[in-house]
Structure 1
């Protein structure tokens, strides 16, 4: 037997395909038409990207649809997409229609660069028309039916003057011998009356010669239409009536004409009687001889409700597929008893691990105190106590019987069907009204810790996640206690799903979810989980805390159970989770205050120069030029000065490190300037006696920038206090600038480990002071301890953390060369750190959940009393500055932070 050929996938969903479909969908939304993403042609789907490329390769829709020059173009393209099809002609029109509806207008816009026709004369019509590039509203008129065209022309809807006669209509016309034509074409004539020939039987037989002399009776004239002409009389005289055809009669089988039939019938009945087979009456079909039976939905339900193992396996196999693919067609309310049968099958798992057989009772009179009886009307309240007393079977994960594995597989399938079906809201509402579903989830979550039970536990947790929003669970409810116990396990998936289920309790009801009696140990675990860099786990914890902190008693318990300051700080840090930093304006060149632009290249620190030495020429010179110079159409610098600045920058490094590749020659360096700055040009100016070689189009930067365009930090240490001349060296970070000041200006030596030790006492005759921008912090005599001076110098340096950007006001100086309100070289640039939003442009994700939890805590803390003062002032006082920063720079959370700060202020914080 030949192997079955595997069918290739219909659509290749590559990155190019997804990007094309996104653009195509946006195009149809703007045009006001409907896009069919994957049109179906027979059993397969059509790849629109591949079809678009193929048609464009042939010249476009109009060229492919040109029947005069290329009749079979669409068939050829269709055969390439569906090579094994037996209906190419039909599928070719489907492919053409799919291109016409989805891609024709897109092709006209993007390939031919024209405005496509309106959708009223393109997408709203069939694909029979062509010449789309020349189709307009003025020259294209859709084909109308004959009645509509007559009405437009002012004629009767059924006027036949405009109709062309067909051969069939010619045959229906009646030749009238005495008239030149029909009297009217609008009315239909009555058929002519004919008089049948009646021979004269009174006379004797005539001879042959006298036969022609016999006259037949003349026909009666009707309305003057017929006359007694010779031709008409001969036609009527020769008329003969049609002979009657005998009707076909089916013979009836009787013993007289077919005795053998009755003999064979008697033999068959006798044989069936001996074999015990039923004899069907005449006209009745026996089971299995033509009955189609119920559909698969009813068949699966009845098989599941039976006690036959093979039938249940058949039903569960098909229910898994149906619930996954056609869950919207298979609802619990349309098949009564289906949900109960699935739950009953899932509860059979208890017999595999405990020596007990659970049974559901829907009788209020029956005693439900027996441990194996579940109350199907109100739910089993003492189910957890009963489970703890169930006798445990000896089951092991490494040794299982075939019957155990098969039964566990069927139970898992029943749980999977329930899980799939509750994903639809109608099924979730229906199942939430069955109290026995809580018992099933409780039993599944309290199964012994075995490998075989993991799948069913996860299915039960996902069912609980969809149903708890319709439940009211008290502190002693078995399901509530079972969900809390899942937080003690080490399974990440089980913990996250349990947190979501607990956070959704009573979410769709008017009853408040109090989440009572949560152990202190669990609250501490949730606090610790917030510190883990796991967004999904953090979301689950915040969902739980949002519901938990809605109660004053719970917040009071939270204050006793966890370190509240640590929790508040972590929630504040999450307010800027994954917040990208953006600016409303690009970084502009730093403006020098009180003087012209610099004439020489800025002085770079040794660390920056060491970074350039890692590059080889010409990349080294290009990076140095981008760091120290910028485009300026009016700027100008001499070639000698530029080359000298480049050599002076790397002269000391090249002398101390001979293994570094040498600098490029001057000629190549000048040529490389134009390569780095396309607007820069080398010029030769004739001054009369000499020639001046310059480069026009660039100028030195006041503040150099790194390879990513970020400005470096300038050293404003006054090396000559009397004249105010500053050091002017640039460093790439505050830490590097501090090292430069300590080493070059304070001259504090390094220890044996290569580190500075400002705490060590200096020489007895040495005094230290701060000369940063004319700082007057210390007296003229200075300080003996370099530790105080070095610690003070850090206050002049900018803080690199985002939350401390507003603290730059401390970095004030009297230097005339630096704008200390803008140490990074930003002119009127507003920095935004907006977090993620949803489709309605509202805040979402971890930042939103964090601010909601903080607001709950602040509101509930205000209702508590403390001997040392208010809880709000003590807890939120240290983070108010960070909250204001988030409110100023995060537009997504601005309204929520505002409500939080109002709650803090209302509580006296």
Structure 2
């Protein structure tokens, strides 16, 4: 089953589309109010890119689909779950990259517009603030949205052990000059050198003796301190060279740190007790590795410079496989050419989107020259291409590379073929044929790129090569290379102007007399696409009659691809008046036109839709309870309480969560039905017990107290309502009301009796209203009576008239309900029966059916459907015929023939009159084709007028 709300694209493929139902409108309204209250942006119909164009997301279907799969958090746990959900909703992509982007955007749309509403709606929780939900991307790693809090969001946004300093804790920026080329930024200062911290263990105040010799001890202490540090961290002996730069730098930095870096002898009188518990950090070993620089290793750098100078002098541009293949192809060495062609086939297939002829001058000419060697294998000739412009015309083997060889077909006809066995060749012959085939295959792969096809359209030897290959002998070993040649022609002909004398045009038409489906199909496409991308018009003149007959025969085949190619050819061919004249002479158009009309329904299917004329309605609840029918009353009179109460409630009431009835109204109705039994000695329920029994019969019913008008308390029973007609509590059949009018006064009175089934209703009308007596054996005398039909709003017999009783009863039975089927033997009521409610008036619907063929959607507006495929091509061919057939000489001859005697009208009358009914039917039932059929009918009708 396709997803509801999707539109069929092809068989098994459905495109996502919004189903604008009442439920959808209410859902979007709730979402809009929710986002307005939350203060977040909301887009009711977000757009997503698919392989069939942009589609608008149905947020209601997306919401239901995610809930069905366990919710947003559960769906995010499964890999590629969002991509699978996109496919289920009718959103497709062939490549994995596009599908990944589509699934991410679908997930982002749910996260942004539905996640908070999902938490509130499905779980009854307050969603997280918008700063940690909608303001963040769905790709951020902040945990599930259902359990996300501000604290968990802060923890997830920080790395372990990382603390973000506040604005007050950050160091103030030093004033630095602005850079000339970076006016908006500041230059960074060099970070200070890191010096390991050495704790102070001496007293904070020095003695007088130490103070008088302050400079010397500090210098010595700095030297001794850093000597010890270097011994620990760099493994340098303490009596190292004092002129070492590293030693000087460390000593200067230690001196700048002040008294904390100097060694002061400990004084137990003034020392702090806190320093006794201090334990210094263990030393850190930093490995040092030598680095080659021009200063410490000049030999190595001189060697590198010498190698760079040698490479620059040789002009070596690196191992470029493209240049290597091009040079190998030009070398004419068999082994090198085999290497080049093997790699060119791979490159053209794998890198065809970037491998262009214009980037490698001489590549196209080299491949063509190699492909021309195929003539040497099958004919006594060696084809050569001359680009001088003054080649010898008498030499058959020399081709004009500047202007093309006009008489190439005549030259091919003069060649002497060689004797070649189709199934057995020498090894050298097979190797040469393989290399030629690879050259043609490389050209074929490269012209699939539009830039290469445009480039090769100006290379005239290519046309000569295609003519030579397609005129080779009919051998199985040449089938592959001929198909490659046809593929090249199909890609190049849109950029060529070929008249009817052109050798390539004539060669392609000759291929249409083949028995190979692939040859016919590719040749038809190549001929139909001549000058397609140019301003010049493709006239398609001088098409042989045998080709036209073959095309009409191919239209009868059940081959969609071949029929489509034939219709494309006919559309181009019938656009010229002279060609329509040739078509009338070549084939029987009176049989062709009906077949093309039959193709208007190719692939059509019947589509049905239920249109709601009037929506479903619900009757308002009433405090009045219908009276109990006599047969039910007789059964319940002899039933004991509380069973009698249960059956009475089941017969006259039903569940309705939105309605209620007052306790006094339902109790008085029960009293009016069985109040007379109290005097007969039968027990009756009290009012309190009766109200409690209502909740036992109907699970949704409950007694409540509400405030009425004027703040008056009202005692009601919520969840039930009175039936519009009683129901048999055993058979579950509904009684029918008798609407026979018993009085013709100003205020007519209706019978309003209830009867179970049409048979009892018929007996009641006969005996009570018509005064007919029924015999003992059930027979009724068919006598003539004077009466009228007094059923409510019946206009059949408004005034009394004499008629047979049988005639009147046949009419009266049309007012009675049809007999209802009894429930199954097991007592289980069908689901459809259980869901039916008597207070609901069903909707009035109308079923529409029409014919739908293949359509294509506009990328800018996916809701617009346009005709496509074989039906569109068929109507365009018919329109060309109707437009141009009246301009032919055959039209004038036919009109003169009709003037001399016979039927009137021209070719349009003769061709389209038998199919007019079918054309009107297609125009009426096929919405996509209606415009095209209307224009065709306009052409035909104008001619007939």
TM-score (norm 1): 0.51
Tell me the equivalent position of 2:357: 332
Using a 3 Å threshold, how does the CA distance of structure 1 residues 856 and 585 change in structure 2: closer, same or farther?
same
TM-superposed CA distance for 1:829, in Å, is: 3.2
Distance 1:549 1:295, change over 3 A: same
Q: How does 1:381-420 map to 2 (within 5 A)?
A: 381-420=406-445
Residue in structure 2 matched with residue 233 of structure 1 by the alignment:
216
How many Å separate the matches in 2 of 1:503 and 1:570? 21
CA contact (8 A) 2:440 2:484 kept: yes
After TM superposition, give the deviation of residue 378 of structure 1 in Å. Answer: 1.1
Aligned to 2:875: 851
Aligned length: 541
Shift of 1:830: 2.8
Does residue 834 (structure 1) correspond to residue 852 (structure 2)? The answer is yes
1:350 to 357, 360, 375: 375
Per-residue deviation, 1:907: 2.1
The match for 2:592 is: 567
Is residue 122 from structure 1 mapped to residue 133 from structure 2 by the alignment? no
- 1:304 paired residue among 329, 336, 348: 329
TM-aligned CA distance change 1:686 to 1:846, over 3 Å: closer
Mapping of residues 757-906 of structure 1, within 5 Å: 828-840=846-858, 841-864=865-888, 865=892, 866=894, 867=896, 868=898, 869-906=905-942
CA distance in 2, matches of 1:295, 1:329: 15
Quote the residue 1:461 is aligned against: 486
Query: Matched residues in 2 for 1:837 and 1:395: separation?
Result: 51
Judging changes above 3 Å, is the alpha-carbon distance between structure 1 residues 309 and 850 closer, same or farther for their aligned structure 2 residues?
same
Give me the whole-angstrom Cα distance separating, in 2, the residues matched to 1:62 and 1:828.
44
Q: Give secondary structure in 1 for the equivalent of 2:857.
A: coil
Write the distance in 2 (CA, Å) between the matches of 1:20 and 1:168. 68
C-alpha deviation, 1:434, in angstroms: 1.1
- Return the offset for 1:130: 3.5
Q: How far 1:136 sits from its partner (Å)?
A: 7.8
Structure 1 pair 886/60, CA: closer, same or farther in 2 (3 Å)?
closer
Q: 1:827 Cα deviation (Å)?
A: 8.3
Residue 450 (structure 2) aligns with: 425
1:373-388 equivalences under 5 Å are 373-388=398-413
Cα distance in 2 for partners of 1:98, 1:870 equals: 59
Task: Give CA deviations for 1:777-807 in whole Å, capped at 9, x if unaligned.
Answer: xxxxxxxxxxxxxxxxxxxxxxxxxxxxxxx
Q: 1:105 to 1:513 in 2, by over 3 A?
A: closer
| Matched ranges for 1:478-493 at <5 A | 478-493=503-518
Instruction: Give the gaps of 5 or more residues in structure 2.
Output: 1-10, 17-42, 52-65, 80-99, 120-126, 177-190, 224-240, 247-293, 301-305, 614-653, 655-726, 735-755, 760-843, 859-864, 899-904
Report how far residue 325 of structure 1 moved. Answer: 1.7
What residue is the counterpart of 1:259 in the other structure? none
Question: Post-superposition shift, 1:584?
Answer: 2.5
> Is contact 2:391-2:400 (8 Å) kept?
no
Q: How does 1:269-668 map to 2 (within 5 A)?
A: 293-585=318-610
Q: Is the 8 A contact 1:368 1:375 kept in 2?
A: no
In 2, the alpha carbon distance for the partners of 1:395 and 1:883 equals: 56
Residue 305 (structure 1) shift: 2.2
Q: Contact (CA 8 Å) 1:506, 1:512: kept in 2 or not?
A: yes
Give the 5 Å matches for 1:77-116.
none
Once the two structures are TM-superposed, the CA of residue 430 in structure 1 deviates from its matched residue by 1.1
> Counterpart in 1 of 2:39?
none
Superposed displacement of residue 568, structure 1? 0.4
After superposition, what is the alpha-carbon deviation per residue over 1:399-418, rounded to whole angstroms, capped at 9, x for unaligned?
A: 21111111111111111111
Q: Is the 8 A contact 1:151 1:157 kept in 2?
A: no
- Contact 1:444 1:456 survives alignment (8 Å): yes
Structure 1 pair 143/567, CA: closer, same or farther in 2 (3 Å)?
same
| Closer/same/farther in 2, CA of residues 135 and 429 from structure 1, 3 Å limit | farther
Aligned twin of 1:278: none
Alignment of 1:723-742 (within 5 A): none
Verify the 8 A CA contact 1:358 1:372 in the aligned structure 2. yes
- Is contact 1:582–1:832 with CA below 8 Å preserved after alignment? yes
Deviation at 1:905, TM superposition (A): 2.0
Please report how far the alpha carbon of residue 144 of structure 1 lies from its aligned counterpart in structure 2 after TM superposition. Answer: 9.8
Query: Relative to 1, partners in 2 of residues 1:56 and 1:881: Cα closer, same or farther, differing over 3 Å?
Result: closer
Q: 1:134 to 1:572 in 2, by over 3 A?
A: same
Q: State how far apart, in whole Å, the 2-side matches of 1:876 and 1:570 are.
A: 12
The alignment's C-alpha RMSD in Å is 5.5
Matches within 5 A, 1:712-731: none
Task: Pick closer, same or farther for the CA change 1:327–1:171 going to 2, 3 Å.
Answer: same
Cα shift at 1:887: 0.5
Change (3 A) 1:299 1:830: same
Alignment-derived partner of residue 201 in structure 1: none
Task: Judge conservation of contact 2:611–2:846 (CA < 8 Å) in 1.
Answer: no
CA contact (8 A) 1:333 1:430 kept: yes
Q: Cα offset for 1:876? A: 1.2
| Aligned residues of 2:133 and 2:145 also touching (Cα < 8 A) | no
Instruction: Give the alignment of 1:242-257 within 5 angstroms.
Output: 242-243=243-244
Going from structure 1 to structure 2, the CA distance change for 1:579 and 1:832 (only over 3 Å counts) comes to same
Tell me how far apart the structure 2 counterparts of residues 828 and 252 of structure 1 sit (CA, whole Å).
97
Q: Compared with structure 1, are the counterparts of its residues 685 and 515 closer, same or farther at alpha carbon in structure 2 (3 Å cutoff)?
A: closer
Q: Is the partner of 1:328 in helix, strand or coil?
A: coil
Q: After superposition, what is the alpha-carbon deviation per residue over 1:58-111, rounded to whole angstroms, capped at 9, x for unaligned?
A: x9599899xxxxxxxxxxxxxxxxxxxxxxxxxxxxxxx99996897699889x
Query: CA offsets per residue over residues 726-783 of structure 1, 9 Å max, x none?
Result: xxxxxxxxxxxxxxxxxxxxxxxxxxxxxxxxxxxxxxxxxxxxxxxxxxxxxxxxxx
Q: Residues 848-882 of structure 1, C-alpha deviation per residue, up to 9 Å, x if partnerless? A: 00000000001101213232342112211111111
Q: Output the CA distance in 1 between the equivalents of 2:355 and 2:445.
A: 11
Deviates more, 1:402-411 or 1:230-239: 230-239
TM-score with structure 2 setting the length: 0.49
The aligned residue for residue 786 of structure 1 is: none
Question: Is the 1:886–1:894 Cα contact (8 Å) retained in structure 2?
Answer: yes
Q: Displacement of 1:345 after TM fit?
A: 1.5
Q: CA deviation at 1:586?
A: 8.3
Structure 1 residue 232: Cα displacement: 3.6
Query: Distance between the aligned counterparts of 1:251 and 1:154, measured in 2?
Result: 47
Q: Work out the CA distance in 1 between the residues paired with 2:516 and 2:307.
A: 67
| Corresponding position of 2:752 | none
My pick for the range that moved more, 341-350 or 386-395, is 341-350
**Aligned to 1:838, what secondary structure does the other structure show?**
strand
Structure 1 residues without counterparts, runs of 5 or longer = 1-17, 37-51, 66-96, 161-165, 181-212, 216-226, 254-280, 589-632, 634-679, 688-695, 700-825
For the residues of structure 2 that align with 1:897 and 1:252, how far apart are their CA atoms? 88
Are the equivalent residues in 1 in contact too, given 2:46–2:109 (CA < 8 A)? no
Distance (Å, rounded) in 2 between the aligned partners of 1:516 and 1:20: 41
